[in-house]
Protein backbone atom coordinates (compact mmCIF):
# COMPACT_ATOMS: atom_id res chain seq x y z
CA UNK A 1 0.00 0.00 0.00
CA UNK A 2 1.22 3.49 -0.84
CA UNK A 3 0.22 6.68 0.98
CA UNK A 4 1.28 10.24 0.11
CA UNK A 5 1.70 13.14 2.54
CA UNK A 6 2.18 16.74 1.44
CA UNK A 7 3.64 18.40 4.55
CA UNK A 8 5.43 17.55 7.79
CA UNK A 9 2.12 18.14 9.59
CA UNK A 10 0.43 15.51 7.42
CA UNK A 11 3.32 13.10 8.04
CA UNK A 12 2.70 13.44 11.78
CA UNK A 13 -1.06 12.87 11.31
CA UNK A 14 -0.34 9.74 9.25
CA UNK A 15 1.99 8.61 12.06
CA UNK A 16 -0.84 9.02 14.54
CA UNK A 17 -3.19 6.92 12.39
CA UNK A 18 -0.57 4.19 11.92
CA UNK A 19 0.12 4.35 15.67
CA UNK A 20 -3.52 3.56 16.52
CA UNK A 21 -3.50 0.85 13.86
CA UNK A 22 -0.48 -1.01 15.25
CA UNK A 23 -1.91 -0.65 18.76
CA UNK A 24 -5.22 -2.22 17.72
CA UNK A 25 -3.48 -5.00 15.78
CA UNK A 26 -0.98 -5.81 18.51
CA UNK A 27 1.96 -5.10 16.18
CA UNK A 28 5.03 -4.56 18.38
CA UNK A 29 7.73 -3.62 15.90
CA UNK A 30 7.55 -0.86 13.32
CA UNK A 31 10.61 -0.77 11.06
CA UNK A 32 11.23 2.50 9.21
CA UNK A 33 13.39 2.83 6.11
CA UNK A 34 14.23 6.07 4.33
CA UNK A 35 17.12 8.39 3.62
CA UNK A 36 18.18 11.27 5.82
CA UNK A 37 15.59 14.02 5.78
CA UNK A 38 12.76 11.70 4.71
CA UNK A 39 10.83 12.52 7.88
CA UNK A 40 11.30 9.41 10.03
CA UNK A 41 11.50 11.35 13.30
CA UNK A 42 8.50 13.54 12.40
CA UNK A 43 6.54 10.36 11.58
CA UNK A 44 7.62 8.86 14.91
CA UNK A 45 6.29 11.93 16.75
CA UNK A 46 2.87 11.09 15.28
CA UNK A 47 3.08 7.39 16.16
CA UNK A 48 4.15 8.18 19.73
CA UNK A 49 1.18 10.51 20.22
CA UNK A 50 -1.07 7.44 19.86
CA UNK A 51 0.74 5.99 22.84
CA UNK A 52 0.12 9.02 25.03
CA UNK A 53 3.55 10.56 24.49
CA UNK A 54 3.72 14.27 23.75
CA UNK A 55 5.13 15.27 20.38
CA UNK A 56 7.78 17.50 21.96
CA UNK A 57 9.12 14.57 23.98
CA UNK A 58 10.11 12.70 20.82
CA UNK A 59 13.45 14.01 19.57
CA UNK A 60 16.10 12.36 17.46
CA UNK A 61 17.39 9.16 19.07
CA UNK A 62 20.56 8.98 16.98
CA UNK A 63 22.75 9.99 19.91
CA UNK A 64 21.36 7.62 22.54
CA UNK A 65 20.24 4.96 20.02
CA UNK A 66 17.39 3.87 22.27
CA UNK A 67 14.96 6.34 23.88
CA UNK A 68 12.95 4.50 26.45
CA UNK A 69 9.51 5.82 27.45
CA UNK A 70 9.19 3.21 30.15
CA UNK A 71 5.85 4.22 31.62
CA UNK A 72 4.33 3.91 28.13
CA UNK A 73 6.22 0.74 27.14
CA UNK A 74 7.44 2.57 24.05
CA UNK A 75 10.93 2.45 22.56
CA UNK A 76 12.21 4.88 19.92
CA UNK A 77 15.29 3.28 18.37
CA UNK A 78 17.58 4.97 15.85
CA UNK A 79 20.37 2.91 14.29
CA UNK A 80 21.78 5.67 12.08
CA UNK A 81 25.23 5.71 13.66
CA UNK A 82 25.61 1.98 14.00
CA UNK A 83 27.41 -0.10 11.43
CA UNK A 84 27.53 -3.88 11.22
CA UNK A 85 25.61 -4.69 14.34
CA UNK A 86 26.07 -8.20 15.50
CA UNK A 87 23.61 -9.99 17.68
CA UNK A 88 26.22 -10.53 20.39
CA UNK A 89 27.03 -6.82 20.53
CA UNK A 90 23.58 -5.53 21.12
CA UNK A 91 20.43 -7.31 22.09
CA UNK A 92 17.55 -5.48 20.46
CA UNK A 93 15.33 -8.50 20.96
CA UNK A 94 15.06 -7.60 24.60
CA UNK A 95 13.35 -4.37 23.54
CA UNK A 96 11.17 -6.11 20.94
CA UNK A 97 9.84 -8.37 23.67
CA UNK A 98 9.17 -5.65 26.21
CA UNK A 99 7.06 -3.08 24.35
CA UNK A 100 6.29 -1.24 21.14
CA UNK A 101 9.44 -0.41 19.16
CA UNK A 102 9.75 2.13 16.36
CA UNK A 103 13.09 1.56 14.60
CA UNK A 104 14.66 4.19 12.35
CA UNK A 105 17.32 2.94 9.90
CA UNK A 106 15.95 -0.60 10.32
CA UNK A 107 18.03 -1.79 7.33
CA UNK A 108 20.96 -1.97 9.76
CA UNK A 109 19.31 -4.89 11.54
CA UNK A 110 19.96 -8.32 10.05
CA UNK A 111 16.56 -9.68 11.06
CA UNK A 112 13.21 -8.54 12.37
CA UNK A 113 10.72 -10.43 14.50
CA UNK A 114 7.56 -11.84 12.92
CA UNK A 115 4.53 -9.60 12.77
CA UNK A 116 6.60 -6.45 12.15
CA UNK A 117 5.27 -3.60 10.06
CA UNK A 118 7.81 -2.30 7.53
CA UNK A 119 7.41 1.23 6.19
CA UNK A 120 9.57 2.72 3.47
CA UNK A 121 9.52 6.54 3.27
CA UNK A 122 10.65 8.14 0.01
CA UNK A 123 11.17 11.80 -0.78
CA UNK A 124 9.10 12.88 -3.80
CA UNK A 125 9.96 16.56 -3.56
CA UNK A 126 10.61 19.24 -0.94
CA UNK A 127 7.35 18.66 0.97
CA UNK A 128 5.88 15.47 -0.52
CA UNK A 129 6.67 12.01 0.84
CA UNK A 130 5.42 8.57 -0.17
CA UNK A 131 4.96 5.83 2.45
CA UNK A 132 5.04 2.18 1.36
CA UNK A 133 3.66 -0.29 3.92
CA UNK A 134 4.40 -3.98 4.16
CA UNK A 135 3.61 -6.41 6.98
CA UNK A 136 6.13 -9.18 7.52
CA UNK A 137 4.81 -12.73 8.12
CA UNK A 138 1.49 -12.12 9.79
CA UNK B 1 32.09 18.62 53.49
CA UNK B 2 33.68 15.93 51.31
CA UNK B 3 31.45 14.85 48.41
CA UNK B 4 31.90 11.91 46.05
CA UNK B 5 30.31 12.46 42.62
CA UNK B 6 29.57 9.69 40.11
CA UNK B 7 28.47 10.04 36.48
CA UNK B 8 28.01 7.07 34.13
CA UNK B 9 25.17 8.51 32.08
CA UNK B 10 26.68 7.95 28.64
CA UNK B 11 30.07 6.68 27.47
CA UNK B 12 32.36 8.24 30.07
CA UNK B 13 33.00 6.68 33.46
CA UNK B 14 33.59 9.60 35.80
CA UNK B 15 34.16 9.96 39.54
CA UNK B 16 35.08 13.16 41.37
CA UNK B 17 35.82 14.29 44.91
CA UNK B 18 34.92 17.79 46.08
CA UNK B 19 35.53 19.62 49.31
CA UNK B 20 32.49 21.91 49.25
CA UNK B 21 32.93 23.80 45.96
CA UNK B 22 36.57 22.91 45.51
CA UNK B 23 37.58 20.10 43.14
CA UNK B 24 40.02 17.65 44.77
CA UNK B 25 39.83 15.24 41.84
CA UNK B 26 37.71 14.81 38.71
CA UNK B 27 38.58 11.64 36.78
CA UNK B 28 36.94 11.06 33.40
CA UNK B 29 37.69 7.77 31.69
CA UNK B 30 36.61 7.92 28.06
CA UNK B 31 35.41 4.82 26.26
CA UNK B 32 35.48 6.50 22.85
CA UNK B 33 37.97 4.07 21.26
CA UNK B 34 35.64 1.14 21.98
CA UNK B 35 32.73 2.86 20.26
CA UNK B 36 34.29 4.69 17.32
CA UNK B 37 34.45 1.57 15.13
CA UNK B 38 30.64 1.42 15.41
CA UNK B 39 30.29 5.08 14.41
CA UNK B 40 28.61 5.80 17.72
CA UNK B 41 27.99 4.67 21.26
CA UNK B 42 26.74 1.11 21.61
CA UNK B 43 24.67 0.98 24.82
CA UNK B 44 25.56 -2.60 25.80
CA UNK B 45 29.29 -2.00 25.35
CA UNK B 46 29.06 1.22 27.39
CA UNK B 47 27.39 -0.62 30.29
CA UNK B 48 29.98 -3.38 30.29
CA UNK B 49 32.88 -0.91 30.27
CA UNK B 50 31.34 1.06 33.13
CA UNK B 51 31.15 -2.15 35.19
CA UNK B 52 34.78 -2.97 34.40
CA UNK B 53 36.05 0.51 35.22
CA UNK B 54 33.94 2.00 37.98
CA UNK B 55 36.04 0.68 40.87
CA UNK B 56 39.35 1.67 39.31
CA UNK B 57 38.11 5.16 38.46
CA UNK B 58 36.76 5.56 42.01
CA UNK B 59 40.06 4.40 43.53
CA UNK B 60 41.91 6.84 41.32
CA UNK B 61 39.62 9.73 42.27
CA UNK B 62 40.01 8.99 45.99
CA UNK B 63 43.76 8.60 45.66
CA UNK B 64 44.21 11.84 43.73
CA UNK B 65 42.04 13.70 46.26
CA UNK B 66 44.07 12.10 49.04
CA UNK B 67 41.00 10.84 50.90
CA UNK B 68 39.52 7.43 51.69
CA UNK B 69 35.94 6.17 51.51
CA UNK B 70 35.68 6.88 55.25
CA UNK B 71 36.22 10.60 54.64
CA UNK B 72 33.29 10.85 52.19
CA UNK B 73 30.27 12.57 53.73
CA UNK B 74 27.88 12.56 50.77
CA UNK B 75 27.51 10.45 47.62
CA UNK B 76 26.00 12.30 44.63
CA UNK B 77 25.08 10.17 41.64
CA UNK B 78 23.57 10.97 38.27
CA UNK B 79 20.34 8.97 37.85
CA UNK B 80 19.18 10.42 34.51
CA UNK B 81 18.71 11.31 31.74
CA UNK B 82 21.07 9.06 29.77
CA UNK B 83 21.54 5.51 28.57
CA UNK B 84 19.57 3.39 31.00
CA UNK B 85 22.09 0.53 31.26
CA UNK B 86 24.96 2.96 31.81
CA UNK B 87 23.07 4.96 34.42
CA UNK B 88 22.21 1.80 36.35
CA UNK B 89 25.88 0.86 36.77
CA UNK B 90 26.77 4.16 38.47
CA UNK B 91 23.55 4.19 40.47
CA UNK B 92 23.87 0.63 41.79
CA UNK B 93 27.50 1.26 42.63
CA UNK B 94 26.57 4.45 44.51
CA UNK B 95 23.74 2.75 46.37
CA UNK B 96 25.95 -0.15 47.45
CA UNK B 97 28.60 2.32 48.59
CA UNK B 98 26.01 4.34 50.49
CA UNK B 99 24.58 1.24 52.16
CA UNK B 100 27.97 -0.18 53.12
CA UNK B 101 29.49 3.10 54.31
CA UNK B 102 26.26 4.46 55.84
CA UNK B 103 26.76 7.76 54.03
CA UNK B 104 23.82 9.73 52.57
CA UNK B 105 23.11 9.42 48.85
CA UNK B 106 21.53 12.00 46.56
CA UNK B 107 20.35 11.58 42.96
CA UNK B 108 21.24 14.34 40.49
CA UNK B 109 19.75 15.16 37.09
CA UNK B 110 22.52 15.22 34.48
CA UNK B 111 21.22 18.52 33.05
CA UNK B 112 21.28 20.11 36.51
CA UNK B 113 24.90 18.99 36.69
CA UNK B 114 25.68 20.79 33.43
CA UNK B 115 23.99 23.97 34.69
CA UNK B 116 25.89 23.91 37.98
CA UNK B 117 29.32 23.15 36.49
CA UNK B 118 29.87 26.91 36.39
CA UNK B 119 29.85 27.03 40.22
CA UNK B 120 33.08 25.03 40.19
CA UNK B 121 34.80 27.98 38.54
CA UNK B 122 36.21 30.94 40.40
CA UNK B 123 33.94 33.27 38.54
CA UNK B 124 30.27 32.33 38.55
CA UNK B 125 27.02 34.24 37.93
CA UNK B 126 24.52 35.72 40.34
CA UNK B 127 20.90 34.60 39.99
CA UNK B 128 18.94 34.83 37.83
CA UNK B 129 20.88 33.71 34.77
CA UNK B 130 20.19 32.06 31.45
CA UNK B 131 21.82 28.70 30.67
CA UNK B 132 22.28 27.10 27.26
CA UNK B 133 23.14 23.40 27.45
CA UNK B 134 24.42 22.34 24.07
CA UNK B 135 25.81 18.85 23.52
CA UNK B 136 25.45 15.66 21.50
CA UNK B 137 22.31 14.71 23.37
CA UNK B 138 20.80 18.07 24.33
CA UNK B 139 20.18 21.59 23.11
CA UNK B 140 18.12 23.37 25.77
CA UNK B 141 17.71 26.85 27.20
CA UNK B 142 16.89 27.35 30.87
CA UNK B 143 16.15 30.29 33.09
CA UNK B 144 17.85 29.66 36.44
CA UNK B 145 16.44 31.60 39.40
CA UNK B 146 18.18 29.73 42.20
CA UNK B 147 19.72 26.35 42.95
CA UNK B 148 16.96 23.92 42.08
CA UNK B 149 14.80 26.52 40.34
CA UNK B 150 14.96 25.90 36.61
CA UNK B 151 12.51 26.89 33.91
CA UNK B 152 12.91 25.36 30.46
CA UNK B 153 12.49 28.09 27.85
CA UNK B 154 13.18 25.97 24.79
CA UNK B 155 14.75 22.76 23.55
CA UNK B 156 15.45 20.98 20.31
CA UNK B 157 12.47 19.56 18.48
CA UNK B 158 14.60 17.00 16.67
CA UNK B 159 18.41 16.77 16.48
CA UNK B 160 20.69 18.22 19.16
CA UNK B 161 23.38 20.58 17.84
CA UNK B 162 26.17 18.09 18.61
CA UNK B 163 24.26 15.40 16.81
CA UNK B 164 24.02 17.56 13.69
CA UNK B 165 27.81 17.94 13.90
CA UNK B 166 28.19 14.15 14.07
CA UNK B 167 25.87 13.59 11.13
CA UNK B 168 27.51 16.20 8.93
CA UNK B 169 30.94 14.79 9.85
CA UNK B 170 29.76 11.37 8.78
CA UNK B 171 28.52 12.71 5.43
CA UNK B 172 31.91 14.33 4.89
CA UNK B 173 33.72 11.11 5.82
CA UNK B 174 35.31 12.65 8.92
CA UNK B 175 34.47 9.90 11.42
CA UNK B 176 33.07 10.08 14.94
CA UNK B 177 32.80 12.25 17.00
CA UNK B 178 32.25 15.12 14.57
CA UNK B 179 32.49 18.25 16.71
CA UNK B 180 36.25 18.71 17.12
CA UNK B 181 37.11 17.81 13.50
CA UNK B 182 34.51 20.17 11.98
CA UNK B 183 35.67 22.93 14.32
CA UNK B 184 39.25 22.31 13.13
CA UNK B 185 38.45 22.22 9.40
CA UNK B 186 36.18 25.27 9.65
CA UNK B 187 39.15 27.43 10.66
CA UNK B 188 40.48 27.20 7.09
CA UNK B 189 37.11 27.25 5.34
CA UNK B 190 34.99 30.03 3.91
CA UNK B 191 31.75 30.33 5.93
CA UNK B 192 30.12 32.30 3.13
CA UNK B 193 30.89 29.79 0.41
CA UNK B 194 27.61 27.93 0.86
CA UNK B 195 24.40 29.55 1.92
CA UNK B 196 22.91 27.10 4.40
CA UNK B 197 19.60 27.80 6.18
CA UNK B 198 19.40 29.33 9.67
CA UNK B 199 16.57 27.47 11.45
CA UNK B 200 15.49 30.34 13.74
CA UNK B 201 11.87 29.19 14.35
CA UNK B 202 10.68 32.77 14.81
CA UNK B 203 8.63 33.35 17.91
CA UNK B 204 9.93 30.24 19.67
CA UNK B 205 12.98 29.49 21.81
CA UNK B 206 13.00 25.89 20.58
CA UNK B 207 15.72 24.63 18.25
CA UNK B 208 15.63 22.45 15.14
CA UNK B 209 18.80 21.23 13.44
CA UNK B 210 17.31 18.39 11.41
CA UNK B 211 16.60 20.59 8.37
CA UNK B 212 20.12 22.04 8.40
CA UNK B 213 21.59 18.53 8.33
CA UNK B 214 19.29 17.69 5.40
CA UNK B 215 20.39 20.90 3.63
CA UNK B 216 24.02 19.76 3.84
CA UNK B 217 23.01 16.43 2.38
CA UNK B 218 21.17 18.10 -0.52
CA UNK B 219 24.18 20.36 -1.09
CA UNK B 220 26.53 17.37 -1.35
CA UNK B 221 24.14 15.74 -3.78
CA UNK B 222 23.99 18.92 -5.89
CA UNK B 223 27.78 19.02 -5.93
CA UNK B 224 27.71 15.39 -7.09
CA UNK B 225 29.57 14.01 -4.10
CA UNK B 226 29.04 10.55 -2.70
CA UNK B 227 28.99 10.16 1.10
CA UNK B 228 32.50 10.51 2.46
CA UNK B 229 34.05 11.21 -0.95
CA UNK B 230 34.47 14.99 -0.83
CA UNK B 231 37.47 17.13 -1.78
CA UNK B 232 39.46 18.70 1.06
CA UNK B 233 38.70 22.24 -0.07
CA UNK B 234 34.94 21.64 -0.15
CA UNK B 235 35.09 19.86 3.20
CA UNK B 236 36.59 22.95 4.80
CA UNK B 237 34.04 25.28 3.21
CA UNK B 238 31.09 23.08 4.14
CA UNK B 239 32.44 22.72 7.69
CA UNK B 240 32.77 26.51 7.98
CA UNK B 241 29.37 27.23 6.41
CA UNK B 242 27.62 24.62 8.55
CA UNK B 243 29.29 25.75 11.76
CA UNK B 244 28.44 29.36 10.98
CA UNK B 245 24.77 28.45 10.65
CA UNK B 246 24.66 26.47 13.92
CA UNK B 247 26.43 29.20 15.86
CA UNK B 248 24.34 32.01 14.33
CA UNK B 249 21.24 30.21 15.60
CA UNK B 250 22.65 29.50 19.07
CA UNK B 251 23.81 33.09 19.55
CA UNK B 252 20.60 34.58 18.19
CA UNK B 253 18.46 32.38 20.48
CA UNK B 254 20.54 33.40 23.48
CA UNK B 255 19.90 37.05 22.62
CA UNK B 256 16.16 36.48 22.20
CA UNK B 257 15.96 34.62 25.50
CA UNK B 258 17.97 37.27 27.39
CA UNK B 259 15.70 39.89 25.91
CA UNK B 260 12.40 38.18 26.71
CA UNK B 261 13.50 37.19 30.23
CA UNK B 262 15.11 40.58 30.86
CA UNK B 263 18.33 38.96 32.05
CA UNK B 264 21.85 40.06 31.10
CA UNK B 265 23.96 37.06 32.09
CA UNK B 266 24.31 33.71 30.38
CA UNK B 267 26.14 30.42 30.98
CA UNK B 268 26.98 28.27 27.96
CA UNK B 269 27.82 24.68 28.78
CA UNK B 270 27.74 21.09 27.45
CA UNK B 271 30.11 19.35 25.04
CA UNK B 272 29.51 21.76 22.13
CA UNK B 273 30.46 24.66 24.43
CA UNK B 274 34.02 23.41 23.95
CA UNK B 275 33.74 24.56 20.29
CA UNK B 276 36.29 27.31 19.64
CA UNK B 277 34.09 29.37 17.30
CA UNK B 278 31.14 29.29 19.71
CA UNK B 279 33.44 30.40 22.53
CA UNK B 280 34.76 33.22 20.36
CA UNK B 281 31.33 34.42 19.24
CA UNK B 282 29.91 34.13 22.76
CA UNK B 283 32.84 36.18 24.04
CA UNK B 284 31.91 38.93 21.59
CA UNK B 285 28.54 39.32 23.33
CA UNK B 286 30.44 40.97 26.17
CA UNK B 287 30.72 44.03 23.94
CA UNK B 288 26.94 44.28 24.10
CA UNK B 289 27.14 44.65 27.87
CA UNK B 290 26.26 41.03 28.64
CA UNK B 291 27.99 38.82 31.19
CA UNK B 292 29.13 35.56 29.57
CA UNK B 293 30.21 32.51 31.55
CA UNK B 294 31.93 29.66 29.75
CA UNK B 295 33.13 26.92 32.09
CA UNK B 296 36.50 25.42 31.16
CA UNK B 297 36.31 22.73 28.48
CA UNK B 298 36.83 19.92 31.01
CA UNK B 299 33.81 21.15 32.98
CA UNK B 300 31.66 21.70 29.87
CA UNK B 301 31.90 18.07 28.78
CA UNK B 302 30.47 15.25 30.90
CA UNK B 303 32.21 14.93 34.28
CA UNK B 304 31.37 13.87 37.82
CA UNK B 305 32.44 17.10 39.56
CA UNK B 306 29.35 18.81 38.13
CA UNK B 307 27.17 16.02 39.58
CA UNK B 308 28.91 16.39 42.95
CA UNK B 309 28.34 20.15 43.15
CA UNK B 310 24.67 19.87 42.15
CA UNK B 311 24.26 17.10 44.75
CA UNK B 312 25.97 19.25 47.35
CA UNK B 313 23.56 22.13 46.74
CA UNK B 314 20.59 19.76 46.96
CA UNK B 315 21.95 18.38 50.23
CA UNK B 316 22.31 21.90 51.64
CA UNK B 317 18.64 22.48 50.85
CA UNK B 318 17.84 19.46 52.99
CA UNK B 319 17.14 17.03 50.16
CA UNK B 320 18.06 13.35 50.50
CA UNK B 321 17.50 10.30 48.30
CA UNK B 322 17.10 6.77 49.62
CA UNK B 323 18.08 3.34 48.36
CA UNK B 324 14.89 3.15 46.29
CA UNK B 325 16.36 5.82 43.98
CA UNK B 326 15.86 4.69 40.36
CA UNK B 327 17.51 5.58 37.05
CA UNK B 328 15.52 7.15 34.21
CA UNK B 329 16.57 7.41 30.57
CA UNK B 330 14.15 10.26 29.97
CA UNK B 331 14.12 12.76 32.83
CA UNK B 332 13.27 16.38 32.06
CA UNK B 333 14.68 18.86 34.56
What does pTM read for this prediction?
A: 0.89
**Nearest residue in chain A measured CA to CA from B48:** A89
pLDDT tens for B179-211 read: 999 999 999 999 999 999 999 999 999 999 999
Three-state helix/strand/coil letters over chain A: CEEEECCHHHHHHHHHHHHHHHHHHCCCEEEEECCCCCCHHHHHHHHHHCCCCCHHHCCCCCCCCEEEEHHHCEEEEECCCCCCCCCCCCCCHHHHHHCEEEEECHHHCCCCCCCEEEEEEEECCCCCEEEEEEEECC
Q: Are A81 and B39 in contact (CB under 8 A)?
A: yes
The rounded distance, in Å, linking the Cα atoms of B106 and B78 is 9
Q: Judge whether A23 is closer than 8 Å to chain B, CB to CB.
A: no
Flag if A67 and B330 touch (Cβ within 8 Å).
yes
| b/e B232-255 (16+ beta carbons within 10 angstroms → b) | eebbbbbbbbbbbbbbbbbbebbe
Has residue B218 got a pLDDT over 50? yes
Per CB-CB distance under 8 Å, the chain A contacts of B153 are none
pLDDT tens for B117-168 read: 999 999 999 999 999 999 988 999 999 999 999 999 999 999 999 999 999 9
Distances (CA, A) of A23 to A47, A48, A50, A51: 10, 11, 8, 8
Which residue in the set A36, A62, A90 is minimally distant from B42, CB to CB?
A90
pLDDT of residue A138: 46
How many beta-carbon contacts under 8 Å exist across A and B? 94
Which residue in the set A60, A83, A89 is minimally distant from B158, CB to CB?
A60
Nearest Cα residue to A11 out of A42, A55, A52, A49: A42
CATH number for the region A2-136 comes to 3.40.50.300
ipTM of the modeled complex: 0.76
pLDDT tens for A91-108 read: 778 888 889 999 999 988
Residue B22 phi, psi dihedral angles, 5° rounding:
-95, 130
pLDDT tens for A23-59 read: 999 999 999 999 988 999 999 999 999 999 999 889 8
pLDDT of residue A112: 86
pLDDT of residue A87: 52
Which residue in the set A35, A65, A84 is minimally distant from B41, CB to CB?
A65
Has residue B39 got a pLDDT over 80? no
Amino acid sequence: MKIFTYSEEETKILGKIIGSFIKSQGIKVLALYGEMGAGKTAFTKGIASSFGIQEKDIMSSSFVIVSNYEDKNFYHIDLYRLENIEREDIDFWEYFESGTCVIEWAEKLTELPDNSLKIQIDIVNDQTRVFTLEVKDV
Amino acid sequence: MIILGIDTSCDDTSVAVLENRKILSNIVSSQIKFHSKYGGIVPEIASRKHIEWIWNVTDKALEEANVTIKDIELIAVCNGPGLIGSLLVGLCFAKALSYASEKPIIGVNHLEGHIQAVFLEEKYPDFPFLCLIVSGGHTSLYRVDDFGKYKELGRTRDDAAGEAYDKVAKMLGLGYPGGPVIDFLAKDGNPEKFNLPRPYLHGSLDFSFSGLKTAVKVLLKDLNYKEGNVSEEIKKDIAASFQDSVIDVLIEKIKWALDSEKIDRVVITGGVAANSELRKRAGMLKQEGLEIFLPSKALCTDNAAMIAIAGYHRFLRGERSDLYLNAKAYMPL
